[in-house]
Amino acid sequence: MSRFILISVGLLLVLGCKRAPSDATSTNADNGAIAEDAVPGPKDSLAVKFKRLVPSQFKGQHAEIAMTNHFSKDIKDVNLTLRFFDKNGQELGSEACIISRAGTGSESGVALCRAGETVTERVGFEIPESTSRVGVVVDWIKFRDGTTWDRPTER
């Protein structure tokens, strides 16, 4: 139950995020995310890179991440696990995070990240103060066509 609440609160926070500062090269008017240099990755993957920690408008800080969609179809929702590390590499904890674009009527199913596109998002709700680096694991992806991708299980 507490994980569901955390994910729900995190989702609300992510959906209410402001755009990143205007240090990027272009914007995507469809979802408000800032486009930038691509994050390298193999075909049929979502490549994610931690950029920096930024102050939250409410409390604490967010992790700013860049995501490049190397799949051939548009992404609608992404479930991430954020792992927080201090300056010595000690893991401080983790948090589940869902990133989505909510839309109604003609906007329903708005793409979070189109095929071949790179976007910047601010994520994280309870990032420890002593965090200096954030690791990101992509757990699952839902595409606009209704199909999904799940992270392969480790053996």
Confidence of residue 4 (pLDDT cuts 50, 70, 90): very low
Q: Which DSSP symbol is given to 106?
A: G
pLDDT score, position 31? 42
pLDDT score, position 107? 55
Rounded mean pLDDT of the chain? Answer: 79
One-letter-per-residue 3-state SS of 2-50: HHHHHHHHHHHHHHCCCCCCCCCCEECCCCCCEECCCCCCCCCCEEEEE
- Tell me the domains of the chain and their CATH numbers: 2-150 (2.60.40)
Residue 146, by phi and psi: left (phi above 0), alpha (psi -120 to 50) or beta?
left
Q: What is the pLDDT of residues 97-150, one digit of tens each?
A: 999 877 655 555 688 999 999 999 999 988 999 999 999 999 999 999 999 999
pLDDT score, position 123? 94
Alpha carbons 65 and 113: distance in angstroms, whole number: 13
